[in-house]
Chains A and B, each alone.
Chain A
Amino acid sequence: MSSDPKIKGYEFKPGYSGMAADTASDQTMFKGVHWGKAMMWIFLLSDTFIFSCFLISYMKGRGSTPVEWPNPSEVFALNAFGVPVPLLLIAIMTFVLITSSGTMALAVKYGYERNRKMCGWLILATAIGGLTFVGMQAFEWSKLIHEGVRPWENPFGAKQFGSFFFMITGFHGTHVSIGVIFLFIYAYKTFAGHYDKEKRGWFTSMKGNYVEIEILGLYWHFVDLVWVFIFAFFYLW
């Protein structure tokens, strides 16, 4: 039995029946969770289903096509000093994206500590990490397109390779790009002190709050997590 200091007058009850009672209690199901944060979690659940549908379709498509699937360590290899190194670019891309998740987490921490400058710089660092990722993805796309891979054809084997690759990495890249745009906006808002001053949003007219950075952070970590799956399914299988 513990009482949450954030919620006046509510005592959590012990045991499983207590857990059920806490869940079904009045006003809120998730005690002390900001509306926007709960909303982002549920949106991410829905988005998980989108990416699952994509990846399951990819597995089914790859399993069904009669033509041989191209070898990923050859298709995705990058020539470094005249030697083809498999997965070189993709390793760097993954490293950059995961690192940007780290800076994002730090930004959230500094935001709640009301360290405006530190928070802003870390959001900016995250945005630049994301931008680097998208840039490298654009490089990889143009390399493959240069070699003749298209959504509708593929010189290395099954044409579904190109279709699924461009569609799924494109959909993920769109997520990253949207995240980058928001990161830049939030970096501006942090530096300008909108969260400290509770300035109202441009469209929503809701008061600014540092929790918004955490909400964007949730999205950013999710985009990272999805990348890990895409990485495994496309580059390691």
Chain B
Amino acid sequence: MSEDFNDSKTIQAQSSETISGGGATPTPDIDYVRPAELPDQDLYHGHSFITKWVFCQDAKVIGVQYFLLATFTGIIGLILSWLMRLQLGFPGAAGFMTAEHYYQFVTMHGMIMVVYFLTALFLGGFGNYLIPLMTGARDMVFPYVNMVSFWMFFVAVGVLLASFFVPGGPTGSGWTLYPPQAILEGTPGSGMGIILMCVSLILFVAGFTMGGLNYLITVLQARTRGMTLMRMPLTVWGIFTATVLAMLAFPALLVSALMMTLDKVLETSFFMPTILKAGEVLEYGGGTPILFQHLFWFFGHPEVYIVALPAFGIISDLISVHSRKNIFGYRMMVWAIVVIGALSFFVWAHHMYVSGMHPWFGFFFATTTLIIAVPTAMKVYNWVLTLWRGNIRLNTVMLWCLGFIVTFVNGGITGIFLGNVTVDVPLSDTYFVVAHFHMVMGIAPLMVIMGAVYHWFPLVAGRMLSEKLGKWHFWITFLGAYSIYFPMHYLGFIGVPRRYFEMYDSPYITSAVGMNQFISTAAFIVGAAQFILIYNIIVSLKIGKPAGKNPWQANSLEWLTPTVPPEHGNWGDKLPVVHRWPYDYSVPGAKEDFIPQTTPPSEVVETKVEKT
């Protein structure tokens, strides 16, 4: 591996000579890092409240803004899920709940959680905060564009939520928005609702593109001295690759949303075949609804990995820091992220097995889908092997990491079921599918977010979160989430269809009644438990234990800023110089169990440090 890096090989040779030389003074050369290619970044420093906290160009503030707005939207999604579970567990308990409302809540819950919560939080929130800090940049490369990105997101959320208040309410066509039903009368929100949804998505994509370009160019072109690609924390790799996916997948969403808007507003027939309604032929004709499904899932499947890849990256770093061990197989982890990202563009039609397709077509997509299991499994093995014989600190962050690994394996295995055409067809549109994707891309990434919040809150706020509350939060969420989604697999096997408002007196699912009540009760408790975190954050901001510098004894650059929390420009007068990867934990011979990335080789010549 290190043959590629002639520079580091020389360093290795020199340092091993010094070791055999027996305590000779290290040659100054081994600390050499070539000079900066670019002049220092020219930043706009805000002075007023508005330029410092509202229309702010500092990536860290933008990250926090993204985080707060995404969380706010996510809480709306959570409340919608409560209302749905109330109806499913105890039909009729919520008096106002009609079938139309139920479908609208399903749709908005899905869209909010996938796009406006998880995507915005991982890429907009963690991406903005962590990329410049972890790569040693002063800020994103185009802070102004970055600021506009957040405000576009803000408008997109506004338009989305406005659809609750228009005549007919928000769209109720399911988060996949399949035409023709999404825009035909009879579907709730087929008037203004669907139009606002499409407009909101278009705004989101436009805003995201501005942010995404920033993330990519910052990673590619603005790293600090010594920060090679293979010295970047996996968090940066995950967010970077996810952003690449987003830049290539969101175009399909943009195009499908635009065409759907035209079908609705101008009565074009892109997706609309000839339709008979109450014996009357509608104006539409000659379009193809399957085209929408292809466009949507060409976006929709990479979207799963847009959420998952940052989670993979972040969890790798958290596990490494809190088990005081280098991440097992770093290069393999990087390549796995890249390969998963690439493969995710060749699997989209596995969402369309029941739409009808040529058997060879299904065979192709089943094969590509199952191939993704290989790099994914590699990652899981590497996480477990990182933990193996590590000096594990069983704190809240580590609990979330462990919770993530089991949840992700669980959801991944049901994915192998659903990737096979013959197994998928009978399980399609049952609660088995609901259980699968909530486990693998709902709960699992959420656990990473929670872990990441407990891990990086001390950096953002300068104070620690309460461990006691954190453990309560974790155990209720973890056990509760399993109580919700584990029984759902069973519901799927006995054939309970998803998206049904009520099951009435279906004799074959009488056993599902009690189970639904149990699931709903668990859902209320888990949802409520999330407010422990919000309470914890608010209280800890005031009375939390001061974190000081680098409370976790981590290596990566974000903990090495001159001030905590870092100020605008991140690094004070001098940019950091990187000499190693961020995973030098528990190195034999080192004084402490961590060697920060900025430690020059001459300070650690007696240690058996990895060559990176």
Residues in A neighbouring B266, C-beta threshold 8 A = 151-152, 163
The docked-state distance in angstroms from the alpha carbon of A64 to that of B294 is 14
Contact residues in B for A9 (Cβ distance below 8 Å) = 34-35
A61 and B287 contact, CB distance less than 8 A: yes
Contact among A20, A45, A67 with B248 in the assembled complex (CB-CB below 8 Å): A45
A39-B142, A57-B259, A60-B291 are known; give 6 further A-B pairs, CB within 8 A: A26-B228, A27-B223, A29-B221, A46-B250, A46-B251, A151-B268
Complex Cα gap A52–B272 (Å): 21
- Give A3 to B248 CA distance when docked, in angstroms: 34
18 example contacts (A-B, Cβ-Cβ < 8 A) are as follows A8-B37, A25-B228, A26-B33, A26-B223, A30-B221, A35-B142, A36-B142, A38-B217, A42-B213, A43-B209, A64-B288, A151-B262, A152-B268, A158-B286, A159-B285, A163-B262, A163-B268, A163-B269
- Of B3-11, B72-80, B379-387, the one with at least 4 CB within 8 A of chain A: B3-11
B231 surroundings in chain A (CB, below 8 A): 26
Contact size range, A: 35 or more
B220–A203 contact, CB under 8 A? no
Residues of B within 8 A of A66 (CB): 286
| Cβ contact within 8 Å between B252 and A160 | no
Report whether A65 and B44 are in contact in the complex, using a CB–CB cutoff of 8 Å.
no
Q: How far is the CA of A65 from the CA of B270 in the complex (A)?
A: 10
Residues of the A chain whose Cβ atoms lie less than 8 Å from the Cβ of B259 = 57, 167
Q: Chain A residues in contact with chain B, CB under 8 A?
A: 7-10, 13, 17, 20-21, 23-33, 35-36, 38-39, 42-43, 45-47, 49-50, 52-54, 57, 60-61, 64-67, 151-152, 158-160, 162-164, 167, 203-207
| Known pairs A10-B37, A35-B217; A61 contacts B291 (CB<8 A) | yes
Q: Are A60 and B288 touching (Cβ within 8 A)?
A: yes
Question: Is the pair B227, A27 in contact by a Cβ cutoff of 8 Å?
Answer: yes
Q: Which 10 A-B pairs have the closest CB atoms?
A: A49-B251, A163-B268, A65-B286, A53-B255, A24-B229, A50-B251, A204-B144, A64-B288, A9-B34, A46-B247
Residues of B within 8 A of A (CB): 3-6, 33-38, 42, 44, 141-142, 144-145, 209, 212-214, 216-217, 220-231, 247-248, 250-252, 254-256, 258-259, 262, 266-270, 283, 285-288, 291, 294-295, 298, 578
Contacts of B283 in A (CB 8 A): 152
In the complex, the answer to whether B225 meets A26 with C-beta atoms within 8 Å is: yes
- Contact (Cβ within 8 A) B221 A17: no
A20-B270 Cα distance, complex, nearest whole Å: 45
- Contact of B6 with A205 in the complex, beta carbons under 8 Å: no
A130 to chain B, nearest CB (A): 22
Q: A35-B221, A167-B259 are in contact. Are A49 and B228 (CB under 8 A)?
A: no
Chain A residues contacting B223 (CB-CB under 8 Å) are 26-28
Query: Could you say which residues of chain B place their CB within 8 Å of the CB of A152?
Result: 266-269, 283
State the CA gap A31–B254 with chains docked (Å).
Answer: 33
- Cross-interface CB contact of B270 among A32, A33, A163, cutoff 8 Å: A163
A8-B35, A35-B222, A152-B283 as given contacts; A23 in contact with B229, CB under 8 Å: yes
The answer to whether A27 touches B224, judged by C-beta atoms less than 8 angstroms apart, is yes
Q: How far is the CA of A28 from the CA of B37 in the complex (A)?
A: 8
With a cutoff of 8 Å between Cβ atoms, the chain A residues found around residue B222 in the complex are 28, 35
**With A and B bound together, what is the CA distance between A65 and B288 in angstroms?**
8
Contact B142 A167 (CB under 8 A): no
> How distant is B70 from chain A, measured CB to nearest CB, in Å?
22
Query: Are B286 and A160 interface neighbours, CB within 8 A?
Result: yes
Q: Are A28 and B225 in contact (CB under 8 A)?
A: no
B247 touches A53 (CB 8 A): no
- Which residue of the partner chain, among B226, B248, B298, contacts A46 with CB atoms under 8 Å? B248
